[in-house]
Every structure is written in structure tokens, then in C-alpha cells.
Structure 1
Amino acid sequence: MISENIKIFVGCDPNNCDLEQLMVLEHSVRKHTQHNVEFIWMQLSHDINSPWYSDQETNQGWSTAKWATPFSGFRWAIPELCDFKGRAIYMDADVVVLCDIAELWSHPMSDEAIVIAKGGKSSARLCTCVWDCSKAKEYLPPLDEIRSDPDSHKNLMRLIKDKPQLVEPYRDSYNNIDGEDLTIEQIKVLHYSDMGTQFSHKYAIPRLAKMDQKHWFDGKIMPHPRQDLIELFDEYYAEALELGYKPENYLIEPFGTFSKATQINYQGNKVTRPDQETNWFNKQIRKIKAKFKKPTFTLDG
């Protein structure tokens, strides 16, 4: 048994758009583990004493204008918030955990790495990752500096790109993106990443409409191609309700308007939108270009 609490920091919308996601995520974690788990919901706040403080009018606190989500840059605050001690897990809210979270928490890490994440020499996805908070101190600026710089998220992503040895790769199934041709039994952590096909929309959007509120995702909403994964989410959603979880248990005082990059032209990913790859000629051109293209390091947003 792990003696300390497994700390899970979760990036969340600040206007109650994703309550269903939070409910399903928490239930999925607790369903599969006997270890003590502590959730820290990371949401923009008007409270000047909150680590997530942001005043969009005076440009104090976090600046979100260049982020893809309302919480993209929060992951960099985690090591300092843990006093640069121990480990901490970061997750986006759109996740269903299908294994004992202790597996991820206890994953081996090399001496050079400061974070465990999906990827390798050419890519890294920090949307589900494990920080070694002590080792991260050497590389991360102070939290006040990270929070006050509008480009901090981009700059710290560049740090990971320039120093890929800082990332210890784990099995892809610990951050499975929308199925990726694996069966449910093969998936450890399901990240239903495509913001346009998220399983929770069918619950959240009608709920928000009753309050004359719109979801923060402003792109096109479309069905997810994996019916089995849709049913999996619905199963966990129903289980959570039966166990006494309620979306309203996660309600907070809404933050209100915030700046964020638009997803009007959001393209999703190749897993959820295979039709984008059906033009044979364009597909072959891309393959030819790829042979001559210099390899680049890719990161999630």
C-alpha cells in the first residue's frame, strides 16, 4: 500500500461546463484503486489567494488568451504547489481511468527525467503525466513568474522539446487517445481527447442550455466513431450516479468570461476523424513529403 496520498491535479473548465467529466473521472479512479487519492481541481478563480487566480481585465494572474483550453498552462504549477516534494499526477478532465492509478504513480523514472508522459524521442503528451516535483525544481521558473508571463506555457513546452531527456515515456495505453485501435481491455487510461466528439457533451450541453449557457468549446460537435467507448462512458456515468455522485456536487461559482484560442476550425485527430484521410491522392502526397521532411518534436497543447 502506498503510504502517501496519490495527488491528482485535474485541469477543469471554470464555468461548470464539464461537471459530468469530473464525476466520471473521480468515480473511475476510485473504482479501480484501494489507495488514498486526493483530487485537486484546477479552475480559474477570482480569489487572489488561489493559485489559479486570474483577472482578465487587469492582466493579473494567469493569462489564458493563447491557451487551447481554460487550463492548458496550469500543469507547470504543480511541482511548486507540492513544495517540490514527491510525485503528482496531472490529467485533463476528459479521462476515464481503467486501471489502478497506483500503476501510473509508481512508474519507474530515469535519473534525467522530471516527468513521465506519453511519447519518445520525437513527441511528448503531457495531458496525462506524472511529475517528480523535486527534480522539476531545477528546470521550472517560480510560479509567480510562470503565472505572469502570457508565453510561459509555450516557452515551457519548448523546454521539453529542447530537452526530450526530461520526459520518461510510458506505455501508450496510459494515455490512450480516443481508442487508437485498442480494445477496452487493453486500455489503461482512456483520454477522449477530441473536443468535438467528447462523450460528455450529450449530458453537459442540454444542462447548460437550461441555464442559457454555452459550452466553452466553440467548434463543431460530432459523434465519436467508437460505439463501445461511448457505451463505456455511459456505463461509468450511470455507475457514478448509483453510487451517489452527482454533477452538481462539482459546481463552483462560475468564473465568467475568459480569453482563449477559438476552436471554430478545430480538426480533432485521425483516430476520431478518419474521413480526413480518405482522399487517396492527398494521402499519397503527404506520405511522399513525410519521407523528405526533417523530423520534428511534437507536443500536445
Structure 2
Amino acid sequence: MVPTLLGFQGRALVIDPDVFAIDDVYELLSRDMRGKAILCRERVLQGRRLYSSAVMLLDCSKLTHWQWEREIDDIFRGRLKMGPWLHLLDESPERIGLFEEEWNHFDTLTEKTKLLHNTEIPTQPWKTGLPLVYHEYAPRGPVWLKALKRVARRIVSAIGDRTVRYQTHPDPRQEQLFFALLRECVEQGSITTRFLRKAIRKNYLRKDAIDLLAKGKS
């Protein structure tokens, strides 16, 4: 969508909503792309080389074949598989360049981290304690995985615990970082407490979020 919105001109930095900036992204935005259409991070899943589209630097002029509406329609009609599309496997590898993992750091916070990506859904720090909901809409995942999730829920229900919940993030510093950033947004007026309370009622935000914000002020 982004290259289309920009008229297939210039550069764009695309970042998922569960990615948080630790450093100035201008360093990445102004990087020499060496003729590549896309810069992103590589990852390996089950022995396969994939690309993460959660953080991408795009040269929009080289992506005129990206037709968002058509591709989304193809996905929901089953003509295009979401997995390969999401991991850029339909792109020629020669058109993709790699940047350092710190620009898309998967649940890892170090002195080198530039962009923190809380990619592990069960431990996203703003959802701790809330019911963990698995969506089974097509085309998300293979049929066997959907069936496995249904069986798992039946087993959990049978033993009496009917609610699987988001867990505490194993790195408390990442939780602290999220609430420090959220507190800054509230103090600067870009997010209101009323907005947060509404998010809490809808289970978008953990129940103790307001208390954690207040605790951080002391």
C-alpha cells in the first residue's frame, strides 16, 4: 500500500505497530540502499530463509508491481498464499538487501537495539493477563495448524482452565520501556487517559495499565 500512496516515488520506512523506536530512524531512512528495492532483516524459521516485513526500507520507484488491493483480494480468495507474500518470498532475492538485526530486534533489548519488535504475541507486555485469542480466519496458517489449535482448546477446557492468557514478558525491561513510552505519550497529550480506559474495556490493553502508569511517576 505504501508505495502506491507515495505514487511509487521516494523512500518509505514501514514499521509494524508492535515495533518501538529506541534510536533515531533517520539513520536507517538515509542509508545507501545500493540499488536494492527493499532493505529488511533476514530470519530463519524451520530451516527456511525468510525475510521479516515488520520493518522495511523501501525504494518505492522499484516496487511498481506491488498492487495492494489486488494482492489482498487474491489472498482472501485463496489465489495467493499469505505466508510467502508476508515473508517477501515472491520477490527476487537480488532485489532485497539486509540490515542489522538491531533494526528489527525480536523481543531483544540491548545497548545496540534500534527498533524493538515485541513479535511474540503471548508475551506482548501491554496485554499481560488478558485472554489470549487465536483467530482462525482464512488464510491464516495451514489447515493442520487450525485443527491443532481447536484440539488444544478442547483439552484445556476439559481440565477446567477455560482461559488461556497472555503471559508476563520474560524481560521486565521491555515492559518498563513500553510503559515509559506510553507515559510520555500521555504527558505530552498525544494519548488521553480516556482513550486508554476505553482500550482496557475492549481488552486491547491490560487491566492494570493505568496503575502501572501512575506507579512509574513516583
Shorter-normalised TM range: 0.5 to 0.7
Distance 1:87 1:216, change over 3 A: farther
Q: Is the 8 A contact 2:169 2:175 kept in 1?
A: yes
Equivalent position SS for 2:121: coil
Provide the rounded CA distance (Å) in 2 between the counterparts of 1:227 and 1:236: 14
Partner of 1:127: 54
Matches within 5 A, 1:23-172: 77-111=1-35, 113-119=36-42, 122-137=49-64, 139-140=65-66, 142-150=67-75, 151=80, 153-154=82-83, 156-157=85-86, 160=89, 163-172=92-101
Provide the rounded CA distance (Å) in 1 between the counterparts of 2:165 and 2:128: 13
Partner of 1:268: none
How many aligned positions are there? 161
Equivalent position SS for 1:90: strand
Kindly state the Cα deviation for residue 157 of structure 1 after the two structures are TM-superposed.
4.5
Q: Is the 8 A contact 1:146 1:152 kept in 2?
A: no
Kindly state the Cα deviation for residue 215 of structure 1 after the two structures are TM-superposed.
7.6
Equivalent position SS for 2:123: coil
Distance 1:132 1:249, change over 3 A: farther
Q: CA RMSD in A?
A: 3.0
User: Does 1 or 2 have the higher relative contact order (CA < 8 Å, sep 6+)?
Assistant: 1
AA aligned to 1:197 is: T
Q: Is the 8 A contact 1:117 1:124 kept in 2?
A: yes
Is 1:224 the counterpart of 2:208? The answer is: no
Equivalent position SS for 2:103: helix
Equivalent position SS for 2:26: helix
Partner of 1:23: none
Describe the superposition over 1:117-141 as per-residue Cα deviations: whole angstroms up to 9, x where unpaired. 011793311111111110011x43x
Provide the rounded CA distance (Å) in 2 between the counterparts of 1:129 and 1:170: 9
Matches within 5 A, 1:194-233: 194-202=120-128, 220-233=165-178
Identity level (%): 24
Provide the rounded CA distance (Å) in 2 between the counterparts of 1:168 and 1:176: 17
AA aligned to 1:239 is: E
Provide the rounded CA distance (Å) in 2 between the counterparts of 1:117 and 1:80: 19
AA aligned to 1:186 is: K
Provide the rounded CA distance (Å) in 2 between the counterparts of 1:157 and 1:245: 31
Describe the superposition over 1:65-109 as per-residue Cα deviations: whole angstroms up to 9, x where unpaired. xxxxxxxxxxxx221121100111111111110111211211221
Provide the rounded CA distance (Å) in 2 between the counterparts of 1:216 and 1:82: 35
For normalisation by structure 1, the TM-score amounts to: 0.47
Equivalent position SS for 1:116: strand
Q: Runs of 5+ in structure 1 lacking a partner?
A: 1-76, 206-213, 251-301
Q: Runs of 5+ in structure 2 lacking a partner?
A: 136-163, 197-218
AA aligned to 1:240 is: C
4+ residue segments displaced more than 6 Å: none
Provide the rounded CA distance (Å) in 1 between the counterparts of 2:128 and 2:186: 16
